[in-house]
Structure 1
Amino acid sequence: MSCADAKRLVGMRFSDSFVKKYIFHWPFEIVPEDDKAMIAVNYMGEMKKLYPEEISAMVITRMKDTAAAMTYGLKHKFISVKNVLVVDLGGGTLDVSLVSMDVNSFTVKSTYGNQHLGGQDFTNTMVNHLIKELRNKNIKCDLNVSLKVIRRVKTVCEEAKIILSTAEKAEIHLDTLCNGICES
């Protein structure tokens, strides 16, 4: 079932006159939840109620994947059907889509996302690793207290992560990381 025009329900109450007037015109069921207009959908054999904002977010996610696939497809001219895996690693989330492409069309076959894995998680892991390395090198600095050091370590990790998005390696020099803040 299509949830076209779900965006018209964003912010609407079930009791709003607009909702009452058009409730039978939408190709999906609108149900109340604490007077909020929600959309009932069958997802994998289970009935779920979704906010219009959630459906809009799903549409946007699929559009992002299609846009990325189109960019790739326009750069690499396809003669026959190709399946391409589109990976969107954001700051806080990871979205992966399988897109089928040929000369004239792009079709999103499947999409999966992890709302708890993103670039920030990589940065945090790098920060924890560097702090451990600093402790192992016996650099005299109270890393638990010094926000200045933590901020500098995080900045360096962010920079290294950006470099690693297009390169095989990035260097971080521990010796200069704490200059002016800690004693080695």
Structure 2
Amino acid sequence: MAGEMSILGSTILALFLAGYLGQQYLPPPKPRVVGLDLGTTFCSVAVFHPGIGEVEVIGDEQGRKSIPSVVSFTSKGIHVGYEGQDLSHSNPLSTIYDAKRFIGKVFDPEVLEQEAARYQFKVLSNNGSAEFLVATNHTFTVSPEFIGSRLLLKMKEMAERHLGVPIEKAVISVPAEFDERQRSYTIRAANLAGLHILRVINEPTAAAMAYGLHKVDVSNVLVVDLGGGTLDVSLLNKQGGMFLTRAMAGNSKLGGQDFSQRLLQHVIERIRQQYGVPPTHKEDVHLLRQTVEAAKLNLTTQRSVILRTPLHLETGDALHPARPVVFEALLTRELFEELNHDLFQKILVPVETVLAEGGLSREEVDEIVLVGGSTRIPRIRQIISDYFGKDPNTSVDPDLAVVTGVAIQAGIMGGSWPLQVSAIEIPNRHLRKTNFS
């Protein structure tokens, strides 16, 4: 009997030793579950690597960590991401963006008409659901979930190319205010792309996980998500290992695009004052818009930038109808902040609303988490910091916070993350988002 116990003990020891040596010297298995952030403006895909215990955000062919949420249809095919964005001005009627705003929603005719007026492409109603009219060699309609599926397929292919293994399973994020129908249609989009969704996670919860708040002693977390086109503020309460969304508010028509537009209008007025006419050529306006956007991004890290762009101005002269000029202007951070002063202050409106609805004072917020590229703007960070009397948490890239958290959840679902640090969302079916748009 003693001999049998000795053999059993030796066998168990050998198995433990083999497992230890395997962990130390054998390459870790490739992740098979990806995390997906299907954003309104940009999309990202990431994986959790169990071997090194880190999240990797996967880039496209050029190494860019996110792709525009744009799909363009031409007679040559379907162009996704940056390819679609490049066609947005030459093919505006068949280039679809912001599809996430429409997915799974049922609209009253008047509301859909108001929403459709914001876009160059045609938005139609199919029993209250939105569809987009596309014209290539023939005219047809596509659904928001089909647009989403093309974006998800692109990210699936990015992950497969990078990891070298087929990807069939994923975790995906959605806004906290998405109802069951919107979540279902998001899953449908993933299914069309050949993906099986293991879990749907709220974007604020994903962001909180990216910042590691599921592993520390915090109770109340405020998530400010300010992207290219929308502002979402969520108040989370962590109870043990679970997050409860206590209140939500936002502005569906406030974001980085609005800040860029204010700067663009200012630049166009300066051109008119200097040359007597504003730019009217489509190519000039497109180039000017790109230059202004780049200037806005540079003003995040620099106090001033020189904007320089060639233009072909209509002079009204029959002999010389297009006057080539090179416009130059000094743009400062102070000017940018002055142009957008009223828009920046609007950020505090939903912040105050979620605190009131959540029954908290600003002093009771343990962590302020920033999500979305527009939260990089120094003045916006200062406004939030002044309001709460402490700095927001800036330890994570705000553009990639959501996809990082989703990848952590994907690691949990794939069995490669210690389950004791996971965070489970408490469903709150009665919660409604207050919108100030």
TM-score w.r.t. length of structure 1: 0.53
- Structure 2's unaligned 5+ residue stretches are 1-103, 106-126, 130-178, 186-198, 313-323, 328-437
CA distance in 1, matches of 2:298, 2:212: 25
What is the distance in 2 between the residues matched to 1:172 and 1:61? 42
Provide closer, same or farther for how the CA distance between residues 151 and 168 of structure 1 changes in structure 2, counting only shifts above 3 A. same
Partner of 1:146: 281
Partner of 2:229: 92
Distance 2:200 2:284 in 1: 37
RMSD across aligned positions (CA): 4.1
> Match of 1:146, as an amino acid?
H
**1:156 counterpart (253, 270, 291):** 291
Q: Does 1:123 align with 2:260?
A: yes
1:63 shift after superposition: 0.4
Question: Are residues 52 and 66 of structure 1, via their aligned partners in 2, closer, same or farther at CA, if it must alter by over 3 Å?
Answer: closer
The answer as to whether partners of 2:268 and 2:279 remain within 8 angstroms in 1 is: no
Question: Normalization by structure 2: what TM-score?
Answer: 0.25
Partner secondary structure for residue 202 of structure 2: helix
Matches within 5 A, 1:1-184: 53-54=181-182, 63-74=202-213, 78-81=216-219, 83-101=220-238, 104-136=241-273, 138=274, 140=275, 142-164=277-299, 167-169=300-302, 171-174=304-307, 176-178=308-310, 181-182=324-325
Letter in 2 for 1:71: A
User: What are the superposed Cα offsets for residues 20-59 of structure 1, whole Å, 9 maximum, x if unpaired?
Assistant: xxxxxxxxxxxxxx7x9xxxxxxxxxxxxxx8635758xx
Distance 1:127 1:80 in 2: 42
CA spacing shift, 1:144–1:95, aligned 2, 3 Å = same
Aligned to 2:164: none
Q: Distance in 2 between matches of 1:97 and 1:134?
A: 41
The amino acid of 2:258's aligned partner reads: D
Q: Which moved more, 1:153-162 or 1:97-106?
A: 97-106
Contact 2:236–2:243 under 8 Å retained in 1: yes
| Contact 2:225/2:231 (<8 A) preserved | yes
1:161 to 1:68, Cα distance in 2 relative to 1, 3 A: farther
Amino acid at match of 2:306: H
Query: In structure 1, how many angstroms separate the alpha carbons of the residues matched to 2:302 and 2:290?
Result: 17
Q: Secondary structure at the match of 1:143?
A: coil
Shift of 1:113: 2.2
The percentage of aligned residue pairs carrying the same residue is 34
Q: Which runs of 5+ in 1 are unaligned?
A: 1-9, 12-33, 37-50
Contact 2:298/2:305 (CA < 8 Å) preserved in 1? no
Q: Describe the SS at the equivalent of 1:173.
A: strand
- The residue number in structure 2 matching 1:6 is none
Q: Distance in 1 between matches of 2:200 and 2:226?
A: 12
CA distance 1:62–1:88, shift in 2 (3 Å) = farther
Q: Is the 8 A contact 1:70 1:106 kept in 2?
A: no
Contact 2:231-2:250 at 8 Å conserved across structures = yes
Give 1:120 shift: 1.7
Change (3 A) 1:135 1:161: same
Letter in 1 for 2:294: E
